Amino acid sequence: MLRPNPIGPGLQGFAARTPTLPPATHTNSYALGTRDLLLVEPATPYAEEQRAWLGWARSLVSQGRKLRAVFVTHHHVDHVGGAAALSGELGVPLWGHALTAERLPELRFERRLEDGDVITLEGQEPERWEVLHTPGHAPGHLCLLERQSGTLVVGDMVASEGTILIEPNDGDMAVYLTQLERLAALGAERALPAHGAPIEAPTALFRHYIAHRLEREGKVLEALRTAGSGGATPAELVPIAYSDTPKQAWPLAVMSLAAHLGKLVHDGAARLDEERYFST
């Protein structure tokens, strides 16, 4: 994504370098609103990138736009690395979900948003951004939907660069898939991801993510059945369930596989006994 990157009326993106998972190297921030202004994702922890980010934000304010707040989709470091510095320099509050604030006790969230809240941005045509609580990737993950334009800010629910990791200690595969179904049902015209270019007609991508995850779940279950009565650990299942994935990606695959196993246990298709999983 170019920086800054005009996307539509009252809508602009800015990509900043962050410590994110490859192949992505940057996290997208977004400016929402034609007069009132909401900045999404204070992502970068790097001083040089922060200076560029602040220059971008101040250029928007110099155009006569009123900065309301900085909005955080969730607590991961490649989304909040600059939260304290950037909101502090601009003198505006941080907004996010209570579960995000709980995981970031060093930050002060002045507004804790919940599912169904509406952020109204005044302008020639006021924008109503609906808050959607979409856990699964992270407990406090939020998306934003502006129905009139069909624009959906999706954070880390999907990406147009790289993929989305569901880490078992922080995420929940079953919940994640349920929330992807919810997003698919919205019929959004454009999705704005944290990583990669804007996604036109994103419903197809949401459906693709769901199908891909369920296909992988099938491979995990088959690998678990192959393990037989001795069961298996996630690391033992990776070479079978992720045989189509380069070996250098297997350390991340272990975490994703563990998330799949957690869903299979939830669904009753597997059980966990100490550190080993068994098919049921």
- Give the architecture-level CATH label for domain 215-279: Orthogonal Bundle (1.10)
Q: What confidence score (pLDDT) does residue 1 get?
A: 59
Q: What is the pLDDT of residues 96-142, one digit of tens each?
A: 999 999 999 999 999 999 999 999 999 988 999 999 999 999 999 99
Q: Where are the domains of the chain?
A: 5-201, 215-279
Burial 90-118 (b: 16+ CB within 10 A, else e): bebebbbbebbbebbeebebeebbeeebe
pTM over 0.75: yes
For residue 13, pLDDT over 80 is answered with yes
Q: 5-201 has which fold?
A: Metallo-beta-lactamase; Chain A (3.60.15)
Output the pLDDT for position 28.
Answer: 97
Cα angle 238, 239, 243; round to 5:
105
User: Rounded mean pLDDT of the chain?
Assistant: 96
